[in-house]
Amino acid sequence: MFTSLLVRSFGHQTYNTNILPGKILPNFEKTPRAILFPGQGAQYVGMGKDLFMSFPSARLIFEEADESLGTKLSSLIFDGQQKDLTLTQNAQPAILATSIAALKILESEFGFDVQSSCTYALGHSLGEYSALVAAKSLSLYDAIRLVRRRGESMAKTVTQLGVKTAMAALVVREENLPKLRGAIEEVCSTLPEGEFVELANLNSSFQAVISGTSQAVDQASRFLQSKQLAARAVDLPVSAPFHCKLMQPAAEMMKEALNGIKFQKPIVDVISNVTASPIKSEEEIPSLLFRQVTSTVQWQRSIKYCREKGLNNFILFGPARVLANLLKKDFPLDHIRPFTTVKDIELFADCIKLKHANTL
C-alpha cells in the first residue's frame, strides 16, 4: 500500500500526518461528488503562492505554466501588480494554473482520484478549461496556451469595438429568472442602432449578469428594476462585455486554435456552460468552447443538473470563494468544501487526523 508522509509547516504549526490513500479513497468514493473551478474575476496577486511554497506538486504546475507560455507567469501571479494580473490575457492562464495546482495537491498528498471519486467536473466560463484539464481531456500545457489566446482574442476584440461596453450583476428572485431573457429582448427592441444588451450569466437562484454596450446595460438595469424583475443592479469592473454577441470576433479568433487541439475523451462527465449537461463526446468540445465565448453561462442550470442527479457534495479548486458562496446561499445544507489556500489543506489534514475525511 502506498504511503505518503505529509510534512508541512503552517505558520508556527508543523503537521506530520501519515496519510494512507488506500484508507482515504473509500471515503472519497462513498458520495456522488462534483469538482468545480472558477472563472475570471477570481484573480488576486499572491494567489497560490502558499501552495507553491509548500507543495512540490503545486510547484510543478506553476513551472509548467511558465514553460508553456515562455514567460514567468508565476512571478506575475505571486508578486506582480493587480492591474497587470487583471488583464484578461494574464488573468485567464493565472486562474487556470492556480486552480489545477490546488487539485494536484489533493491528488498527490491525499490520494484523490478524479475518475473514481467524482461524478462531474464543471467550471464557470474560463473554469470549463480547468474542468477539461481535470478530466484529462486537455493537457495543462495546451490549456494554458489556449486560455492565453482566449484572453488575447477578447482584449483585441474590445479595442476594435469602437463603443463603450459594460456588464452588470442583477439581484433577482428565482421565479423571475425565466422572465429575464424576454424582458431584455423587450429593452433591445427600443434601443438605438448599435446598442445591445444580452443575458451573460445565470449564476444562481438570486444572481444574473447582463452584458453589452454601456447605454444598453444601463437602460436594461433600470427597466428590470422598474418591472420588479431585479431588486438591484451593480456595475461590474470588467475589461470586456463577456458572453454576448459583441465577443463574436474573439470567438472567431479562437476557432483555429480550438480546432488545432486534439481533445481526449473526458475520464469523468464535464458539464458544458452552453448546454448545462454533460459533454457527449470529445469531438464536440471545440464547438462548445467556441459557442461559450458568446453564449450565456448556464451555471445555475448546471448546478441544478447535478443536484437532480442526487449530488450535494462539491469540492471547489482555485482562487477566491465566489462559487462556494453562491452554492452556500442556495444550498446551505450541502457539503461544500473550497480548496484555495494552505489553510484549507491544513483543515483537511485535521479532518484526516480526526478520521472525519468522510465529511469532505
d(CA 10, CA 63): 23
Is it the case that residue 186 has pLDDT exceeding 90?
Answer: yes
Q: What is the mean pLDDT of residues 89-116?
A: 96
Structure confidence at residue 347 as a pLDDT band (50, 70, 90)? confident
Map grid coordinates 484523490 to a residue.
112
Catalytic residue among 99, 243, 272, 302: 243
Specify the domain boundaries for CATH 3.30.70.250 within the chain. Answer: 160-240
For the segment 41-92, what is each residue's pLDDT rounded down to a tens digit? 999 999 999 999 999 999 999 999 999 999 999 999 999 999 999 999 999 9
For the segment 21-48, what is each residue's pLDDT rounded down to a tens digit? 333 443 566 578 999 999 999 999 999 9
Catalytic residue among 54, 74, 99, 125: 125
Q: What is the mean pLDDT of residues 290-317?
A: 98
For the segment 109-139, what is each residue's pLDDT rounded down to a tens digit? 888 999 999 999 999 999 999 999 999 999 9
Identity of the residue numbered 35: I
Q: Which of the following CATH numbers is that of domain 4-158+246-359: 3.40.50.2000, 3.40.366.10, 3.40.50.1010, 3.40.1280.10?
A: 3.40.366.10
Q: Is 125 a catalytic residue?
A: yes
Threshold 0.85, pTM exceeds: yes
Is it the case that residue 348 has pLDDT exceeding 90?
Answer: no
Q: What is the pLDDT of residue 239?
A: 87
Q: Is 74 a catalytic residue?
A: no
Q: Which is the CATH superfamily of the domain at 160-240?
A: Malonyl-CoA ACP transacylase, ACP-binding (3.30.70.250)
Q: Which residue from 190, 176, 301, 165 is spatially nearest to 243, judged by alpha carbons?
A: 165
Is it the case that residue 9 has pLDDT exceeding 50?
Answer: no
